[in-house]
């Protein structure tokens, strides 16, 4: 199975692309499966046009890329995004899933609206699955400064254990590079999520093509 590729945004780390909107458009054109808009220091007012612009870029390419908003369910809904990604300190997965089921029943929300969760333990991944998450992002698998506050890297062995303990897709995050991405897929991950591997790449389309062969 071709691995899912999720580009997580951080406009402060854009090395090759000066503007967030430019980077998102390039990521869509490159064939990234999911783009998670994760700009924690932006207000809802600032974030909404970014999400809407991302949806417009995805629509221009037949919506092949799904746009997911980190944490802000209100922005995801206002932008008509493809889903929301919940952090451990976000709204409870079970509560959002209960609301989602009702909204789908009332035809106020597309059935395809995704809900994912960040997890840092096997117990958290199992709880997210039980509570209705469609996927989990697990990590940090390898060392990375952005995840240093979460403690020591989980490692490939723990990633493999989590991947077989749940039936929903598990995406690896944390220190993911083109060189170690294959290890994550071999360990059982359904895909990979990364910030700098994608945002620092000059030729995104070529990188995506190589990763899709893992």
pLDDT digits (tens, 9 = 90+) for 100-153: 999 999 999 999 999 999 999 999 999 999 999 999 999 999 987 765 566 689
Residue 96 belongs to what H/E stretch? helix 93-105
CA atoms in the 13 A half-sphere facing the CB of 13: 16
Residue boundaries of the structural domains of the chain? 4-211
Closest CA to 114 of 136, 95, 87, 90: 136
Specify the pLDDT at position 76: 98
β-bridge mates for residue 193, sequence order: 6
Alpha carbons 64 and 148: distance in angstroms, whole number: 33
Q: Which CATH superfamily is domain 4-211 in?
A: Aldolase class I (3.20.20.70)
pTM of the model: 0.94
* Average pLDDT score over the chain: 94
């Amino acid at each position: 199975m071709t691995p899912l590729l999720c580009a997580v945004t951080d406009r402060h780390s854009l090395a090759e692309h000066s503007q967030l909107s430019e980077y998102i458009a390039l990521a869509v054109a490159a064939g990234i499966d999911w783009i998670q808009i994760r700009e924690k220091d932006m207000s809802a007012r600032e974030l909404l046009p970014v999400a809407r612009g991302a949806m417009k870029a995805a629509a221009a390419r037949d919506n092949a890329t799904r746009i997911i908003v980190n944490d802000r369910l209100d922005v995801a809904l206002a932008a008509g995004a493809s889903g929301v990604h919940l952090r451990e300190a976000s709204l409870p997965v079970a509560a959002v899933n209960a609301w989602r089921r009702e909204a789908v029943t009332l035809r106020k929300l597309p059935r395809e609206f995704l809900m994912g969760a960040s997890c840092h333990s096997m117990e958290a991944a199992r709880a997210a699955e039980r509570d209705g998450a469609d996927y989990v992002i697990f990590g940090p698998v390898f060392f990375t400064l952005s995840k240093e506050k979460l403690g020591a890297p989980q490692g490939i062995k723990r990633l493999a254990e989590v991947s077989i303990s749940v039936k929903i897709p598990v995406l690896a995050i944390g220190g993911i590079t083109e060189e170690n991405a294959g290890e994550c897929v071999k360990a059982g991950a359904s895909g990979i999520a990364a910030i700098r591997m994608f945002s620092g790449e000059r030729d995104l389309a070529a990188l995506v093509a190589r990763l899709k062969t893992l």
